[in-house]
Amino acid sequence: QHYFIQSNLSCSEMDENPFADPKDVNPFMDPSVTQVQSSQPTVSAGIDDPFAPSLAEPATVPVAPVISQPPPEQPPVAAPGGGYNNAAAGYGASAPGYGASGGSGYGSSFNSQPPRQYGNEENQQKQKLVEDEFRKREEDLERRERQLRDEQKRLEDARVYGDRVPNFPPIPKFFPCTPCVYHNIDFDIPPEHQTTVRRAFYHWQFTVGCYVMNFIVCFGMICALGTKAGSMFGLSIVFTGLFIPLSFLTWYRMLYNAVRQDSSMRYMLFFFCYGFQILVSGIAFLGINKGGFMGIISSTSTLEDNKALGVMGILCALLWLADTLIAVYLIMQIHKTYRSTGQSMEKASGEFAASAGSNRNFGQAVLRSL
């Protein structure tokens, strides 16, 4: 106890400032300060817990009352059926308030909708772009696959049909007849001349249609007029059965081989035979009486006996006129192609002499004819 008192005295002495002025007044010894200090409750020296709560109550600060505000109104969302979905916007269906039961609070319909997630829309757009890109790649792969398939078929045709197996006209397998010639424009004809050859092929088909139409009208004439139209019907049978295969073999097939083999001689033979076809189409358009063709002249004379057959004859005459005009247009286009490929009469005569010399029978026939 003596040591404790002595240590307290020494600590009190150490608290004094040895350099202080003895006449200086301590501001903390002012009566107003000491009065306030004396009013504070004293804490026992035995309690030295820095984490203990303070015994003095803090001064209360006045806080303004919090007034709950309703959430801002949201515009109604258009429903898939065309109306407005009030539940998605947060409004009840039975009261002007927000609650589903008509109260002023927030209803379950407002809280049932999840918050709008903008990240999902961005992900959907990215997914859509990826799907579009994948679809484009898939279409490109399909296009390339078709090209490879066509090329493979072309090579297979070249290997299988190297001996040029006939495939035209396309006759069913159960038919007793078989195709006569090999016909494949895509395989035989160069790409720059395929359009010209196809037009000539379409014109040949149109010419076949004219012959068939002419035969039908002449058949109707013999059915309606009897033996009076016998010569027309008989000649129409001859022209239809003879000129259809001859037109294919003489001028269309000649053009096909001329373009495929780049032969001046075949070009010249084509021009000769095609000119004859133009002449026949022109005569058919005129339609001489009892000449086997239903043209303008024969149709007008048939109108007196049967108006229906006369009208059909005029239609047939118009078909022959169209056939003639198409043939004139095509021969001009083919002549331009003939000139652009560097063909000439000299080449044609040289090819003719070479083919005649190589064919012993042909050469002997020409010598006998001379």
DSSP conformational letter for 113: S
CB 182 within 8 A of CB 167: yes
- Those residues with Cβ within 8 angstroms of residue 166's Cβ, 6 or more apart along the chain or in another chain: 178, 179, 180, 181, 182
What pTM does this model have? Answer: 0.54
| pLDDT at res. 91 | 44
Confidence of residue 230 (pLDDT cuts 50, 70, 90): confident
Q: Is the pLDDT of residue 208 over 50?
A: yes
* Residues paired with 98 in a beta bridge: 106
In 3D, which of 293, 285, 291 has the Cα closest to residue 318?
A: 285
| pLDDT at res. 248 | 93
| pLDDT at res. 25 | 57
| pLDDT at res. 314 | 93
Confidence of residue 162 (pLDDT cuts 50, 70, 90): low
Which residue shows structure tokens 């190297």?
Answer: 162
pLDDT in tens, 31-72: 666 665 555 555 444 445 555 554 444 445 455 554 555 555
> What's the whole-number mean pLDDT along residues 122-149?
86
Alpha-carbon 326 to chain mean position: 34
- Those residues with Cβ within 8 angstroms of residue 353's Cβ, 6 or more apart along the chain or in another chain: none
| pLDDT at res. 284 | 93
| pLDDT at res. 238 | 93
**Is residue 232 helix, strand or coil?**
helix
Sign of CA dihedral 235, 236, 241, 244: positive
pLDDT in tens, 309-336: 889 999 999 999 999 999 999 999 999 8
Phi, psi of 78 (to 5 degrees): -70, 125
Sign of CA dihedral 287, 288, 290, 296: positive
> What's the whole-number mean pLDDT along residues 126-149?
87
| pLDDT at res. 89 | 41
Cα separation, 135 vs 137, whole angstroms: 5
Higher pLDDT, 64 or 155: 155
